[in-house]
Structure 1
Amino acid sequence: MPARPATTEAELEAHLRGICFKTGPPRRIGVEIEWLVHDARNPRCPVEPTRLHAAATALRALPLTSLLTFEPGGQLELSSLPATSLSACIEAVTADLALIRPAMLAMGLGMAGHGHNPWHAPRRVLTHPRYNAMEAYFDRWGAAGRSMMCGTASVQVCVDAGYEEPGPLGLGRRWLLAHLLGAVLTAAFANSPTSEGCPTGYRTTRQVVWSQLDPERTLAPPQGPDPRGAWARYVLDAPVMCIRSEDGPWDAPEGLTFRQWFRTGGPPRPPTQEDLDYHVTTLFPPVRPRGHLELRMIDAQAGDSGWIVPLAVTAALFDDPEAAERAYRAVKPLAETAGSRPAPRNPLWRRAARGALTDPELHTAAVACFAAAQEALPRLGASPDVRAAVADFTERYVARGRCPADDHLDALYAADTADMPPETPLETRLRTPPDRTHPTAPAQPPVSELAFRKDSQ
């Protein structure tokens, strides 16, 4: 039976309000982890699409509890089921990875945790109509769309929306906290300073790429006392990326918003409630309400268990009342730096992308937030191994004003200054940039020049 068209705009708004913020006691946690897939012997050698398709077939035969999918550029994504505790979430995903990694190695493939592909230019390997339409849509904004689709990877943490009532675990507080703390998480876990072997001038190139896309579907909705109403308007006024079809391309008229599509009834047909639900999946703000809150700003992390630290820290700061209150107090002053512009194009998120924790304000907030998280983890029942991993990350990076991207840059600069005379001062060695330029298509300026170029729009 064909889907029924929606009847009124009020019905559409009520539907969005109902499905996107489901309130109640915060008790569930989830994580979506992406990895760049590479040749196990030579990461710089692009993997042929036939190998990726064969890997997808083999992995889907494994008895996994998480949902396994592949992204347009061949990135592997593992999405956990909602768990009732941090420990249960970690245990389930760890068990799935214990099956996936050996299977990948047996096929000569490795999984790397980088926020942005450090080796290759973006190359799409999936040809689903959704991705054909997405590529065509984002091409109107330049090359960043293909880079986002095919060359980025993240750790996305999912937390409940919170209580209806005000307070540290209330919906309004958690919504605001997510957008301020998001800049701190961006900075602390920045892990993508290079592209095609060259530094881009940012510690998280992934975040810069996201900031260059269509602002009507990738910027945060306006902040205010009514998150539901703001989100409903954001969704209805966003351009339609694609209209699903059974027998043709999923094209959509350029500039057509979902509200306009509903009011005009076409082309090519009137929208349904199912079309609205699908439209929501094509919107990519840094915090996306899906009943729960999906935090989308954290770069993929290196190592078999690198994803555990951002998951644990975020869960602690959202779901432990004392830690949530301390985190809110730590990040509230950042609202003045952020100003009125939405994330990720406001000054706060720009500074997080470029300087990460070298920025004094972000560093101060990160130190306070990580301390609160460490104290909260025992109350959440986190295992000694998880607590030790968070403590090690805090000491290695946060306390020192560093992030994982700094390790990559240190290694790169060390290689480029290896031939300097032994008497060259350390200061000079550390400040000497690599003698390279960012390779891009002729019509595409370097990432560092492109960043935030559409802010005035």
Structure 2
Amino acid sequence: MGAPVGTTTSQLPDSPSTQIFDRDQAEAYVAMICFKHGPPRLHGVELEWTLHHRNDPGRPLVANDVSLALGEHAPKTINPQSTHAPLSGGSLVTVEPGGQVEISPPPFVSPAALIAAASTDASELAGLLDTYGFVVGQHGIDSHRPPMRLLCLPRYDAMQSAFDRVGPQGVHMMCSTASMQVCLDAGEGEDVARRWRAAHALGPALVALFANSPEHGGHRTGWASSRLRATLGTCPPFTSPPAPTDDPAAQWARMAMEAPVICVRGDGPSWAAPPGLTFARWVSEPGSVGRHPTYDDLDYHLTTLFPPVRPKGYLEIRYLDMQAGSGWVTPFALLSALMARPSTVDRVLDLTESTAGRWLEAAREGMADPALRHTAAQIAQLGADSLDCLDFTSAQQAQVIDDLARRVGTSSSTRRWSA
């Protein structure tokens, strides 16, 4: 989603197996590949659901049953012999450690076209699962089962081992949570830092507005978004939102170097990293692993970082609970509209100034927090007024406006919700 500014062939590694000998070299590479500049054009979404037996939603899953239901669309992580064919709208299906299913359609310039493709694939996936007696969950965390790992692979063994040393939230994140992720271009020039700040500043108010995970494993948790609670607690401070900055690429690169290495891939069954190993330490003390890290190792390390917004050459906004049914359309459309124009981004930064740091309050209280409720109403109003700058159909706009009005507790016909 865009091309790196100032990239030259000499700045890229000769191959993924090229060794890294210098931290500055590694940081420059991370900054370059994670923040690719260009005018905002593309829109993406990833939709994840917990998976349940229709007649007994608390019953544990069996990997072979899930693989049979997905057929040729099953990922190789659950069926190594699968062709992993895309769904008809272009989405690939993935299966997460606890059996959650996820679809990732290709990005579209047109957000309306993306909604259509993702909706088609969500319906197709539901049909495949229904044939084998499965249904997808309606919440951002498994409301029926405690965390149970379905996939026993070296990556997930290493992740759980590392996260268990921190606390119980990591296994909850891995095995019980279901999020929706909105993917937008980072932007160009000075707009990148503003868009990065806005994507984070929106977080608490949007978490509150779309909190959808108050119950886990059959019990009320006392949190409006138990999913975000689990995510933030997985491996702090690296799963926490970063401090505001004018240079997000450099900040992210430093954080990646200082974050713990979760997996060291090899030929054996264990990929567990030595306790206390960071990527910076691996670069400076290769004897701790037995070899120098490579760019392929660095690329893989980046996939084990789970912040609220992850730069992947574009902005992957990860802090939203999955919604029931087609409810994901509203937060996708709202974020797309709020981030569409520089003037709207600037307005977002103004409206969210007082609540940009209220992440825990958002996860715990949701819209019961007065400050977050006020900000949420303001950004919902701004988003509703900005929908027509994109190509949403009139039906899509009406659906989004009605849903936003319901969430902020007013009438869609009023259209001045934040007064």
What is the TM-score with the length of structure 1 in the denominator? 0.81
The 5 Å alignment of 1:17-416 reads: 17-60=31-74, 61=85, 63-64=87-88, 65-165=90-190, 170-266=191-287, 267-303=289-325, 305-335=326-356, 338=357, 348-399=358-409
Q: 2:363 is aligned with what amino acid? A: A
Per-residue deviation, 1:143: 2.0
Distance 1:124 1:215, change over 3 A: same
CA distance in 2, matches of 1:320, 1:89: 19
CA distance in 2, matches of 1:62, 1:191: 29
Q: 2:175 is aligned with what amino acid? A: C
Q: Secondary structure at the match of 1:215?
A: coil
CA distance in 1, matches of 2:145, 2:290: 38
CA distance in 2, matches of 1:2, 1:325: 39
Partner of 2:6: none
Give a deviation string over 1:219-271, Cα, whole Å, max 9, x none.
Answer: 23332221111111100011110100123311211001101101112313110
Give a deviation string over 1:391-445, Cα, whole Å, max 9, x none.
Answer: 12112112369xxxxxxxxxxxxxxxxxxxxxxxxxxxxxxxxxxxxxxxxxxxx
| 2:21–2:292 Cα contact (<8 Å) kept | no
Q: CA RMSD, aligned part only?
A: 1.8
Q: 2:255 is aligned with what amino acid? A: Y
Give a deviation string over 1:332-357, Cα, whole Å, max 9, x none.
Answer: 2324xx2xxxxxxxxx1111011111
Per-residue deviation, 1:153: 0.2
Give a deviation string over 1:342-396, Cα, whole Å, max 9, x none.
Answer: xxxxxx1111011111212111111111111111112201112221221121121
CA distance in 2, matches of 1:350, 1:11: 35
CA distance in 2, matches of 1:197, 1:371: 35
Q: 1:22 is aligned with what amino acid? A: K
CA distance in 2, matches of 1:255, 1:153: 29
Deviates more, 1:172-181 or 1:207-216: 207-216
Partner of 1:430: none
Q: Secondary structure at the match of 1:134?
A: helix
| 1:317–1:327 Cα contact (<8 Å) kept | yes
CA distance in 2, matches of 1:334, 1:197: 31
CA distance in 2, matches of 1:47, 1:251: 26
Partner of 1:426: none
Q: Secondary structure at the match of 1:136?
A: helix
Q: 2:366 is aligned with what amino acid? A: A
Q: Secondary structure at the match of 1:78?
A: strand
Q: Secondary structure at the match of 2:30?
A: helix
Q: Secondary structure at the match of 1:217?
A: coil
CA distance in 2, matches of 1:213, 1:7: 30
| 1:216–1:239 Cα contact (<8 Å) kept | no
Q: Secondary structure at the match of 2:50?
A: strand
Where does the alignment leave 5 or more consecutive residues of structure 2 unmatched? 1-14, 75-84, 412-419
Q: 2:115 is aligned with what amino acid? A: I
Q: 1:377 is aligned with what amino acid? A: L
Deviates more, 1:128-137 or 1:57-66: 57-66
Give a deviation string over 1:97-136, Cα, whole Å, max 9, x none.
Answer: 2321111111111112311111111100111210011111
Q: 1:45 is aligned with what amino acid? A: R
| 2:330–2:404 Cα contact (<8 Å) kept | no
Distance 1:246 1:384, change over 3 A: same
Partner of 1:14: 28
CA distance in 2, matches of 1:241, 1:392: 43
Give aligned-pair identity as a percent.
Answer: 41
| 1:334–1:361 Cα contact (<8 Å) kept | yes
Deviates more, 1:247-256 or 1:323-332: 323-332
Distance 1:63 1:56, change over 3 A: closer
- Give the 4+ runs in structure 1 shifted more than 6 A: none
| 1:191–1:300 Cα contact (<8 Å) kept | yes
Distance 1:228 1:2, change over 3 A: closer
Per-residue deviation, 1:322: 4.0
Deviates more, 1:125-134 or 1:138-147: 138-147
| 1:55–1:107 Cα contact (<8 Å) kept | yes
CA distance in 2, matches of 1:56, 1:102: 10
Per-residue deviation, 1:296: 0.7
Per-residue deviation, 1:2: 8.1
Q: Secondary structure at the match of 1:77?
A: strand
CA distance in 1, matches of 2:215, 2:161: 26
Distance 1:156 1:62, change over 3 A: closer
What is the TM-score with the length of structure 2 in the denominator? 0.88
Deviates more, 1:239-248 or 1:149-158: 239-248
Distance 1:62 1:294, change over 3 A: closer
